[in-house]
Chains A and B, each alone.
Chain A
């Protein structure tokens, strides 16, 4: 995984609660056996006016002018601001793949769905949970004629918006470490080979029916 470095990015405000992973990347794109190339189909049903199909050239498709991602103010956004329970529903990792492939690196919401939250970290995406009032304030600040920008400092766990005071945030220390170092989980786990083997030999005796 690539290392997560500090950056300053444009905030795109997606003002909806309970955005599910079916909306983030609709099912027809799940037929791909690749990990990349999902960005153009991120939020496909909201973003375009026609029905998208896998493998299609997306450049000529009619855009939905009412969808926030198509608002010129938010071109090149790398931070998505949204509402509670973002990423609910299907466990498809294609959702973080699509968000990352589009160019997003940080997601801000009052809460995230569990599996989705987990999947983000495996793909270099940083989901940040902030109190609902703070999210409200960021929404208010991001709706102006010029886009809101936020500087993201992961080591010090601080967001600095272009308007308003700096905002500290929480992140699990282990996940932070993995993001900053760009560590691969499997490699980390395989450092504990002996512990896994010891556990297995114990279980073969204690619970032999699991190994029959």
Chain B
């Protein structure tokens, strides 16, 4: 057989049937469900008198609308509350496992899936959420779908798909000290652009990727969607398999070993061909800070805000001008002179235990700077929160003047009460700096957890390596 990419292998293994014109029916092993993109899908099932094909292949958890404070009081906003209650009722009606707001396993869907071992290598996994790309870190083909497709998977355990092209992003060499997975993925997006991955599934390879922990790999795959790609993938290795052992939904005993033997084959063959290859030297990557309203508008922390006058492409230059205007920034300003009003450490990109440890290490023995109105840490799940508390990280944050919240999406998209006010500037570990993303008129700068922590304690962006 010809040499195949990891993507080819995952695709071939899940092909139920294919038409001559290339339209394929792909089997979907598992689906994660949250409250925002599922109500209309369940409603569709009801309207057509359909039942889920395999209820046990789904796991549901509310995350976008949940409050991060005083959770015992319930959700104050009635519209948010109805959405969460609707999910709970739908799961009860259709026999789907549901981790409610008061369950210690509740959290952001993309943090809960891997943490529970619900995500396994070699799977196809979808969710009505673009950051489903996160799960590609396990060598699973994972991608976001719309609500019609959520319903399609519930009803048939399949999706109608066309194969994407394959891109390899190889990050060669070693990342420098203090440079994280977040900086790496921001640098990749800066290099290929937010549409650079459109039509592709991106496999991340190279030494720098394989030296990352599972947490770091998830951060990289999480933001693949910000490069426009259908999915991100990382080949399975022992780090992957070690992470999965003993997780609640993972197989046990002989079945685990049988799975693991197969998982070890989940990498691109020697000589497999990619439609596009991008090589990046890890050693050149610096801590990154976004300055605009698209994740590709990113520069190293030591740089200055770029000047649209130097941009040759008129559409791009106009976009830059609009972004600078929205962000309230002048070309040529050193990034280190930008002063956030708020700091948000959280989201499915960076709210795992390792992220909180990295931030706490910077915060330890320091205080949130005077100019910062609010610095908050929102763990990605109840279990991450418990683990952090067992390690005393909550004390570190609280003593420094941070708020320590309950798990959820929170100010990543501000669907709950946590949001930026118009004109407020935020150092955020999330994944999107779009206009209004963290609150109407809010200005987001995407950074790593350590860089967000450094901005919190100094009051401005700063190279964390120099602290």
| Nearest-CB residue, chain B, relative to A31 | B79
| Nearest-CB residue, chain A, relative to B160 | A185
Contact call A119/B148, Cβ cutoff below 8 A: yes
Contact call B37/A172, Cβ cutoff below 8 A: no
* A103-127 residues at the B interface, CB under 8 angstroms: 111, 113-115, 118-119, 122-123
Contact call B294/A207, Cβ cutoff below 8 A: no
Contact call A91/B128, Cβ cutoff below 8 A: yes
The verdict on A33 contacting chain B, using a C-beta distance below 8 Å, is yes
Chain A positions within 8 Å of B304 at CB level = none
Contact call A30/B40, Cβ cutoff below 8 A: no
Q: Contact check: which of B25, B29, B37, B39 meets A91 at CB < 8 Å?
A: B37
Chain A positions within 8 Å of B97 at CB level = none
Q: Contact check: which of A45, A192, A195, A207 meets B122 at CB < 8 Å?
A: A207
Contact call A33/B129, Cβ cutoff below 8 A: no
* A177-203 residues at the B interface, CB under 8 angstroms: 185-186, 188-190, 192, 195-196, 199-200, 203
Contact call A189/B158, Cβ cutoff below 8 A: yes
Contact call A115/B146, Cβ cutoff below 8 A: yes
The verdict on B4 contacting chain A, using a C-beta distance below 8 Å, is no
Q: With A and B bound together, what is the CA distance between A51 and B194 in angstroms?
A: 28
Chain B positions within 8 Å of A73 at CB level = none
The verdict on A16 contacting chain B, using a C-beta distance below 8 Å, is yes
Assess A192 versus B432: contact at CB under 8 Å? Given A33-B86, A93-B146: no
Chain B positions within 8 Å of A34 at CB level = 40
Contact call B21/A192, Cβ cutoff below 8 A: no
The verdict on A165 contacting chain B, using a C-beta distance below 8 Å, is no
Chain B positions within 8 Å of A119 at CB level = 146, 148-149
Q: With A and B bound together, what is the CA distance between A8 and B285 in angstroms?
A: 51
Contact call A93/B148, Cβ cutoff below 8 A: yes
Chain A positions within 8 Å of B149 at CB level = 118-119, 122
Q: With A and B bound together, what is the CA distance between A172 and B53 in angstroms?
A: 28
Interface residues on A, range: 35 or more
Contact call B195/A85, Cβ cutoff below 8 A: yes
Tally B residues with Cβ within 8 Å of A: 77
Assess A185 versus B152: contact at CB under 8 Å? Given A93-B146, A192-B16: yes
Assess A91 versus B294: contact at CB under 8 Å? Given A30-B415, A210-B120, A210-B123: no
Q: Smallest CB–CB gap between A149 and chain B, Å?
A: 24
Contact call A118/B16, Cβ cutoff below 8 A: no
Contact call B434/A31, Cβ cutoff below 8 A: no
Chain B positions within 8 Å of A118 at CB level = 145-146, 149
The verdict on B338 contacting chain A, using a C-beta distance below 8 Å, is no
Q: Contact check: which of B23, B195, B229 meets A18 at CB < 8 Å?
A: B195
Q: With A and B bound together, what is the CA distance between A116 and B371 in angstroms?
A: 40
Q: With A and B bound together, what is the CA distance between A55 and B198 in angstroms?
A: 35
The verdict on B259 contacting chain A, using a C-beta distance below 8 Å, is yes
Contact call A35/B157, Cβ cutoff below 8 A: no
Q: With A and B bound together, what is the CA distance between A83 and B98 in angstroms?
A: 41
Q: Contact check: which of B225, B229, B251 meets A209 at CB < 8 Å?
A: B251
Contact call A28/B16, Cβ cutoff below 8 A: no
The verdict on B306 contacting chain A, using a C-beta distance below 8 Å, is no
Contact call A186/B50, Cβ cutoff below 8 A: yes
Assess A172 versus B43: contact at CB under 8 Å? Given A207-B122, A208-B258, A209-B258: no
Q: With A and B bound together, what is the CA distance between A145 and B395 in angstroms?
A: 64
The verdict on A58 contacting chain B, using a C-beta distance below 8 Å, is no
Chain A positions within 8 Å of B25 at CB level = 189, 192, 195-196
Q: List 19 A-B contacts (CB under 8 A).
A: A22-B437, A27-B415, A30-B36, A31-B79, A32-B79, A33-B86, A35-B43, A55-B79, A89-B434, A90-B130, A93-B40, A111-B195, A114-B228, A186-B48, A186-B156, A200-B157, A207-B122, A209-B255, A212-B255
A positions within 8 Å CB-CB of B? 15-18, 20, 22-23, 26-28, 30-35, 45, 51, 54-55, 83-85, 88-93, 96, 111, 113-115, 118-119, 122-123, 172-174, 185-186, 188-190, 192, 195-196, 199-200, 203, 207-210, 212
Besides the contacts A18-B319, A27-B437, A210-B122, what 9 more A-B pairs have beta carbons closer than 8 Å? A33-B40, A54-B79, A85-B198, A88-B195, A88-B228, A91-B130, A96-B146, A118-B149, A186-B155
